[in-house]
């Protein structure tokens, strides 16, 4: 489920980047989340009654995390290569793993990740502008919140009901920015059709797979598998967008992936 999510999510992000000239980054985020919300609400038809305050708090937290994470990430890939953006974004789950472990060896993984980030910038400073990197790091912080709230929501709602409600919240968060940014371009029939396709690839399918995966996996194990994201992103960026990464950048991605895996695997005596 996690591997399928990684491939689908990064392929959808690459396709979305091709559509930025039509509707802009914020416009594509709005279309993606609106269509995703409509699709999930139609399929799941979640009950609105019978839920307590904590249930709705989990849904609201997940929705805000989703909307903010996607808005920041699309701003990042509008400025830097997809593989580099996802590598920087991965620092969010990595920091979560290091902080949660509270072990001295965690400093090793943090240093390894910092080395990877240095190489990532040293490989191509021109393409990795500071604004794009800042957006990617912000998306990483919200990715951490997404993991935590997704686990809580999945435990409190049956099937994908909680995700459907959270996606509606995310759409409400992102829609105003998208409308202000893109205006009437969002109503173009071709843009709408492509936005719907991106929604399925980037939100509907991967987030559903991740929600179900988090019901079967500890959050730490799930974070390890999230290390596949930069690899999937680099592949999607190369195939769909024609973005190539130099040797230093490929080494940087490998270091950040290794740091994330190491941080989670040594985060508890059981290695989970």
Report pLDDT digits (tens) over 158-206. 888 998 999 999 999 999 999 998 888 888 898 898 889 888 898 778 8
CA 228 – CA 104 distance, rounded (Å): 25
Q: Tell me if 164 sits within 8 A of 41, measured CB to CB.
A: yes
Q: Which of 4, 7, 76 is nearest to 240 (CA)?
A: 7
pLDDT digits (tens, 9 = 90+) for 232-246: 888 888 888 888 777
Q: Report which of 135, 1, 130 is spatially closest to residue 69, judged by C-alpha positions.
A: 135
| Encoded tokens for 36 | 């995703």
Give the separation between CA 260 and CA 114, rounded to whole angstroms. Answer: 11
- Tell me: pLDDT of 76 over 90: yes
pTM for the model:
0.79
């Amino acid at each position: 489920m996690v591997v399928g999510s990684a491939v689908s999510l990064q392929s959808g992000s690459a396709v979305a980047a091709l559509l930025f000239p039509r509707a802009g980054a914020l416009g594509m985020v709005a279309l993606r989340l609106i269509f995703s919300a409509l699709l999930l609400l139609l399929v799941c038809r979640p009950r609105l009654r019978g839920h307590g305050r904590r249930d709705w708090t989990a849904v609201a937290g997940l929705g805000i995390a989703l909307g903010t994470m996607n808005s920041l990430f699309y701003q990042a890939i509008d400025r830097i290569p997809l593989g580099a953006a996802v590598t920087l974004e991965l620092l969010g789950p990595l920091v979560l793993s290091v902080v949660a472990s509270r072990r001295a060896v965690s400093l090793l993984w943090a240093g390894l990740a910092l080395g990877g980030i240095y190489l990532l910038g040293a490989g191509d400073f021109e393409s990795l502008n500071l604004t794009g990197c800042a957006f990617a790091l912000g998306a990483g912080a919200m990715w951490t919140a997404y993991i935590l709230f997704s686990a809580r929501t999945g435990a409190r709602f049956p099937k994908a009901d909680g995700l459907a409600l959270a996606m509606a919240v995310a759409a409400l968060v992102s829609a105003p920015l998208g409308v202000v940014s893109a205006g009437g371009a969002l109503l173009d029939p071709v843009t709408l059709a492509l936005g719907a396709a991106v929604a399925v690839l980037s939100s509907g399918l991967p987030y559903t797979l991740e929600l179900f995966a988090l019901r079967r996996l500890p959050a730490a194990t799930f974070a390890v598998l999230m290390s596949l994201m930069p690899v999937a992103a680099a592949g999607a960026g190369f195939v769909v967008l024609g973005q190539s990464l130099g040797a230093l950048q490929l080494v940087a991605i490998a270091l950040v992936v290794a740091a994330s895996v190491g941080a989670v695997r040594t985060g508890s005596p059981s290695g989970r």
